[in-house]
Amino acid sequence: MGVMRIGHINIRVLDMDAALHHYGKVLGLQQSDTDAVGNAYLKGWDEWDKYSVMLTPADRAGMNHIAYKVENDADLDVLGKRIRDYGIDVEEVSPGELAYCGRAIRFWLPSGHLMYLYAAKEFVGKAVGTTNPDPWPDGLQGAGVHWLDHALLMCELDPEKGVNKVAEVTTFMQEVLEFKLTEQVMVGPDADVQAATWLARTSTPHDIAFVGGPVMGLHHCAFFLDEWADVLKAADVLAKNKVKIDVTPQRHGITRGTTSYFFDPSGNRNETFAGLGYLGQPDMPVITWTEENLGSGIFYHTGELNEAFTEVYTEGA
């Protein structure tokens, strides 16, 4: 019962043609549809629902909303009540209002991000099918990413003013939506400020993460690849296509994933992410990173902080 996994992310883009080239030809997502107002819908080859990425033409980059899929339609009523009891307004969304989905609920996270929960989305199937499937489909383009893996959202954090939206949204995600806290960063003189958190509903290290910053926004959305060699090849594909690379292939200490970061043509940060890292089982103890070792937590190989990595991101709605 409850939230199963990430469903999709709705990203604002400045140039739709350039965005479709990036997400389609470079990353390898497959376009499944467009609508009358110009939104484009894409999915990874190993995903089965209609889309995991929704691109919306806009005059500024960023994220409109993020959506998670629940197991049963009845879960929407249960979770809607929990959210209201927590003190957050919930809007009922009619079938089809959230594109290609059944009924849904919509609410603002304590961090200021808009989230949807839904139970049903139009089914289109995996590119390799589900009967005697090949390990990958013919005709993959670019990096050939498998699926949308997670998103990292920036939250307002100002300990001097007593503002810590990371801690607020983390508590909400745990107590109301029953996400498990897998890792956290604790900072401050007494190491009592929760500055970043990674949370999961599946057995991966994280299905969503929150990091503190001056304003709320989108830090990145990540796409899954099989292994380290695929991350390296993806970086080659990015370089061949003159994509602006933020971080060349590295390993995270946090989540233990192998990674590379880069920007879409509108300035939204993307990640290719590989490796399970560990099983985020319900009884796994929370992994904590301290301020003096944060460099190794983010970039394990160099052990050095890159200020632009946390200070550059697209602001929220």
Tell me: do 84 and 210 sit in the same domain. no
- Write out the H or E segment, with its range, that includes residue 273: strand 269-274
8 tagged catalytic: no
Question: Among 118, 133, 166, where does a domain finish?
Answer: 118
Place of tokens 């999961």: 200
Tell me: do 84 and 163 sit in the same domain. no
The encoded tokens of residue 60 equal: 């500024």
Tell me: do 114 and 156 sit in the same domain. no
| Res 260 pLDDT > 80 | yes
Task: Kindly compute the dihedral angle of the four CA atoms of residues 71, 76, 77, 79, in this order, to the nearest 10 degrees.
Answer: 90
CA distance 87 to 281: 29
Of 144, 121, 164, the closest CA to residue 29 belongs to 144
- Between 174 and 315, where is the model more confident? 174
> 134-189, pLDDT tens digit by residue?
999 999 999 999 999 999 999 999 988 999 999 999 999 999 999 999 999 999 99
Tell me: do 177 and 306 sit in the same domain. yes
Residues 6+ apart with CB under 8 A from 206: 150, 182, 183, 198, 199, 200, 255, 280
CATH assignment at residue 99 = 3.10.180.10
| Res 303 pLDDT > 90 | no
Place of tokens 């390898």: 28
The pLDDT value recorded for residue 216 is: 95
| Res 211 pLDDT > 80 | yes
Question: Among 98, 118, 138, where does a domain finish?
Answer: 118
Q: With cut-offs at 50, 70 and 90, classify the pLDDT of residue 270.
A: very high
Of 300, 241, 234, 312, the closest CA to residue 271 belongs to 234
Identify the DSSP state of 159: G
In a domain, 131, yes or no: no
CB atoms within 10 A of CB 283: 5
Give 2-45 as a 3 state SS string: CEEEEEEEEEEECCHHHHHHHHHHHCCCEEEEECCCCCEEEECC
Tell me: do 297 and 179 sit in the same domain. yes
CA distance 71 to 68: 10
Question: The domain containing residue 282 runs over which residues?
Answer: 148-315
Tell me: do 219 and 157 sit in the same domain. yes
In a domain, 8, yes or no: yes
Round to the nearest angstrom and report the end-to-end CA distance of the chain.
30
Tell me: do 211 and 112 sit in the same domain. no
Q: With cut-offs at 50, 70 and 90, classify the pLDDT of residue 313.
A: confident
In a domain, 250, yes or no: yes
In a domain, 140, yes or no: no
Tell me: do 180 and 263 sit in the same domain. yes
CA distance 271 to 289: 22
Tell me: do 284 and 166 sit in the same domain. yes
150 tagged catalytic: yes
CA distance 74 to 191: 41
The encoded tokens of residue 139 equal: 């005709």
Tell me: do 69 and 159 sit in the same domain. no
In a domain, 18, yes or no: yes
Q: Tell me the sheet residues that pair with 262.
A: 245, 270
146 tagged catalytic: no
Q: With cut-offs at 50, 70 and 90, classify the pLDDT of residue 274.
A: very high
Place of tokens 């319900």: 282
Tell me: do 196 and 75 sit in the same domain. no
Annotated catalytic residue, options 206, 307, 311, 313: 206
- Between CA 301 and CA 154, with CA 311 as vertex, the angle to 5 degrees is 100
Q: Please give the distance of CA 62 from its chain centroid, rounded to a whole number.
A: 13
206 tagged catalytic: yes
| Res 40 pLDDT > 80 | yes
Annotated catalytic residue, options 150, 156, 219, 313: 150
In a domain, 133, yes or no: no
261 tagged catalytic: yes
Tell me: do 200 and 285 sit in the same domain. yes
Phi and psi (nearest 5°) for 5? -165, 170
252 tagged catalytic: yes
Of 63, 10, 25, 41, the closest CA to residue 242 belongs to 25
- Write out the H or E segment, with its range, that includes residue 174: helix 165-175
Dihedral of alpha carbons 206, 261, 141, 61, sign: positive
The tally of domains found in the chain comes to: 2
In a domain, 227, yes or no: yes
Burial class (CB in 10 A: 0-12, 13-18, 19+), 176: middle
pTM: 0.96
| Res 316 pLDDT > 80 | no
In a domain, 102, yes or no: yes
